[in-house]
Amino acid sequence: MQRIYPSLISSIVKKIAFVSIPLMVLALVGCGSGGVDSSDAEKKGLLTTPAIVDTSALPEAGELKTYLTIDDEAREEIVLSNNSTSLQLEKYAQGNHTFLIEFEFHETNKPIIQLAKATIEVNVGQGDNPITFTEFDFPDSNSDGKTNLDALVENLDPNACVLGSSTLSNCSLTL
């Protein structure tokens, strides 16, 4: 018969208690009247977008900003981390909602330049709601055939007039 030492038994009991007590607490939280009922679940959104703008390619003097508008309400600036962010959607009723995301380049004493935008319809319900933008419009402010994003990356002014392709309403003249 093999002999087990009391200190070894005590060590094993402590390790089992350390692991099992938190698991029992988690199990108790998830059941009974204290648990989360699916009808009481909050409405959350995980907004994701492809990496459409490489910030390292943009001029250093400016800043890329991202805005979100839901159902034509006031737009709000959002911060993306790894091309995603979490949203709280409790104030929105269950059903379809329109989400608009806009990427802009802001530079001191210069007009704001819209780089990309996308709109999608999302049926918002209880729990997690994926909000995934996949198709973007890339504006060309001066109608020169280059998107504003491409012009900025090439260190060009996206609002500069180009003879033969621009109109005075969509470009800025530099004298």
| Domains of the chain: residue spans and CATH | 42-137 (2.60.40), 140-175 (no CATH)
Q: What is the pLDDT of residue 48?
A: 78
Render pLDDT for 131-145 as a digit per residue (tens, 0 to 9): 988 899 999 998 889
Which range has highest mean pLDDT (3-17, 40-54, 96-110, 147-161)? 96-110
Radius of gyration of the chain (CA): 27
For range 60-76, the mean pLDDT: 91
Q: How confident is the model at residue 164 (pLDDT cuts 50, 70, 90)?
A: low
**Minimum mean pLDDT among 16-25, 37-46, 104-113: which range?**
16-25
Is the Cα dihedral 121, 123, 124, 130 positive or negative? negative
Across the range 59-75, mean pLDDT stands at 91
Report the chain's terminal Cα–Cα distance, integer Å.
100
For the segment 90-132, what is each residue's pLDDT rounded down to a tens digit? 889 999 999 999 999 999 988 999 999 999 999 999 888 889 8
